Structure 1
Amino acid sequence: MGGNELRYVHQALDTNWISQYGSNIDEFENSLENYFGSSSHVTVLSSGTAAIHLALRMLNVEKGDFVICQSFTFVATANPILYLNAVPVFVDSESQTWNMCPEALEDAIKYCIQQGKKPKAIIVVLSYGMPFMVEEILQISKKYEIPIIEDSAEALGSKYKDRLCGTFGDFSVISFNGNKIITTGGGGTLISRNAEDKIRALFLATQAKDDMEFYGHSEIGYNYRMDNVAAGIGRGQMDTLEEKIMQRRKNHDFYQDAVKNNENIELFSEPDSNFFSNYWLNTIILKNGLAKENLRTRFSQENIETRYLWKPMHLQPLFQGYKFFGNNLSGTLFETGLCLPSGTNLTDENRSRISEVLQK
């Protein structure tokens, strides 16, 4: 917490606006729109998953439609495809950003077209806060006229060529889950490119209530709106966003120094100066036969939590039988990688303990 959250929470409680209406919601959305710029229209929601689901609805994804999805991600990216009884087509990563491979993406699109259905959407993920291959993916999107849902759940504050992530997709998604750069406890946001889409998103997120004196409903809606108390936490968090990004990047500097002379460990870093990552999580690949489980166990013995990288969707039992395009780089990442402690509240003492384990 940054310190100002309680002021806005108390404001919600004092005014008795604690549900899905209130000034905190409006002001939180305004602050996000100011942050992302004039072409970004923000609807704050109960989760980033809800935002992906709404984006798919807004793109008229229906039963049997193909949706191309990055395989190297958390399951929340892919689940909404199944909510709509659509068909996920998974695409592998490339080695520089660990995000969607442009070549595999085009192969997947060609496959779908051969099956008689052009994909309704491409969901590209910014894994661990790293921007994707923006120009290459956008070029393919434009070539085939397939809209992009930019899953920037982990990438608030990241940039590509000085342009903020969250502004590249036809729809973009940010998560405010408890472990993200800023949090509302849970929550997320859908970023639309025009005001009309924002109005439509809000309509669907509030049970699709028709404009009548009684409760009239002509289509399916959802209870996806963020509440005014959570939005108050978000307002307070925005006050310290830049500081939190700097703290995460400071963690990365620490890890660079800690592993610089270790030939067995490769730290995942920005490919070049065009990429600016918030380094939401710092991740490593183990080389020369070093087993990730051995290192994870050594950390655990010192009461330091680490986690495996994402197990790709095409390797999950839930998605067995769906098409996958690529060379399984994402599977190799899962087999050889670990996420290291990356919180904004890491202390020098914490870093010293981590460094000692790495050296041993």
Structure 2
Amino acid sequence: MLLSPPDVGPLEESYLLRALRSGWVAPIGPDIDAFEQEIAERVGTRHAVALSSGTAGLHLAMVALGIQRGDAVVVPTLTFVATANAVTYTGAEPVFVDCLPDTGNLDPELLDRTLRKLSASGRRVAAVLPVDMFGSCADYDRILPICAAAGVPVIEDAAEALGASHEGRPAGSFGRAGVLSFNGNKIITTSGGGMLVSDDDILVERCRYLATQARQPVPHYEHTETGYNYRLSNLLAAVGRAQLRRLDAMMARRRAHRSRYAEVFGATAGVRILGSGDQAANCWLTSIVVDPEVSGWRSADLAAHLAAAGIETRPVWKPMHLQPVFADADAVLNGVAERLFATGLTLPSGSGMSTEQADRVCAEIDDFLHDGPRHDAKAGFPRARPSHVGGTADGRATSL
């Protein structure tokens, strides 16, 4: 049983066949236009640009904002690598900031401290890229004023959060631009794809232009600058339109799975669900956090038990400051991301998971809780490194 496989069926098939039979198979056509309009309406922005991936959207937003080599861009350390990779595409340098323990989202206090230190050091901070972790929006009530006071634009990485909201405002609508992902495991999918959403007319037109190889509006192929092949195809947009019609129902299924897990672990000391207090989350993935000294077992023990039953799980994202590719990057840390990585486990959460499949997962978890491996807490468990601020993964001082 997979973690979050694509949930597609007859509706998607009908939309795709209709688009195929219309002859619009290139990265242009009526389904692209309609999909962009429908996403913009759902997110509450004036514009949307359909793209080949969420990563492409992050890259384009940064290029359109003039981010360039040597700039600093603040990125949560707890995220998928695409967020940080997109920064490096521009030649800028990611500065990683740690997270809050309850949601795994960017810590506003550390963000404020980081922006002040970077400004005092004379470095140009070109953007902040908050990530809406596992479908729970970051604390924009605190983040946006901090960034505004520092004069730094926000690009919201809402790749995991379509359908979620914060204080009644939809994910993707915060900052100068928001970016969604329609990868195969996301809340909705176009097989592969993404969307940039924004109210900024100039930024959107710039991104749309760059996404089509920066072609000049003349009859022949004329290019005055480097562009990118980043547009989504009309066929995939058709799949996305069908998925969007089912979004609320698919979110309801994922929320039901999270509620089941909450019941299963409800009487288990030392286990909590990451982001469980956010009622406006889309519940894209459900992750538990295990305190082994209280529970008597580790998240890895449960993962091994479920794997033996053919059930896929995954650790929470490995922090970017621990990734070899970013070993030399600056980081402002409090130890939370490392602890979540060491103690977190993501459980099957897909909207296509049937009631019978969910029953089987929960039954296996019950079996583990009653009969699974136990460890003497006094023998010790792996711990994250002690909290530290302004250091690299091994505790060395950074340039901050």
TM class, shorter-length: over 0.9
Match of 1:246 in 2: 252
Match of 1:277 in 2: 281
Match of 1:19 in 2: 26
State TM-score, norm by structure 2.
Answer: 0.87
The answer to whether the 8 A contact 2:65-2:203 is kept is no
Match of 2:168 in 1: 162
Check if 1:266 corresponds to 2:284. Answer: no
The answer to whether the 8 A contact 1:95-1:329 is kept is yes
CA spacing shift, 1:10–1:288, aligned 2, 3 Å: closer
The answer to whether the 8 A contact 1:94-1:100 is kept is yes
Corresponding residue to 2:131 among 125, 142, 160: 125
Q: Within 2, Cα distance between the matches of 1:40 and 1:123?
A: 21
Match of 1:61 in 2: 67
Identical columns (%): 38
Give the superposition deviation at 1:40: 3.3
Give the superposition deviation at 1:116: 1.3
Please list, as runs of the form range in 1=range in 2, the aligned pairs for 1:85-164 lying within 5 A after superposition.
Answer: 85-164=91-170
Give the superposition deviation at 1:214: 1.9
The answer to whether the 8 A contact 1:283-1:337 is kept is yes
State TM-score, norm by structure 1.
Answer: 0.96
Number of residue-to-residue matches in the alignment: 357
Give the superposition deviation at 1:269: 3.2
The answer to whether the 8 A contact 1:248-1:342 is kept is yes
Match of 1:341 in 2: 348
Q: Deviations over 1:109-168 (max 9, x none)?
A: 122212312310000001100111111101101111111010010001111112111111
Q: Within 1, Cα distance between the matches of 2:200 and 2:191?
A: 28
Match of 1:83 in 2: 89
Check if 1:293 corresponds to 2:297. Answer: no
Check if 1:202 corresponds to 2:200. Answer: no
Match of 1:8 in 2: 15
Q: Within 2, Cα distance between the matches of 1:208 and 1:237?
A: 30
CA spacing shift, 1:63–1:157, aligned 2, 3 Å: same
Check if 1:41 corresponds to 2:50. Answer: no
The answer to whether the 8 A contact 1:40-1:167 is kept is no
Letter in 1 for 2:192: G
Give the superposition deviation at 1:2: 4.5
Match of 1:303 in 2: 310
Q: Within 2, Cα distance between the matches of 1:104 and 1:111?
A: 10
The answer to whether the 8 A contact 1:158-1:277 is kept is yes
The answer to whether the 8 A contact 1:208-1:217 is kept is yes
Which runs of no fewer than 5 residues in structure 2 stay unpaired? 1-7, 369-400
Letter in 2 for 1:333: L
The answer to whether the 8 A contact 1:268-1:285 is kept is yes
Q: Aligned-residue CA RMSD in angstroms?
A: 1.3
Which runs of no fewer than 5 residues in structure 1 stay unpaired? none
The answer to whether the 8 A contact 1:175-1:187 is kept is yes
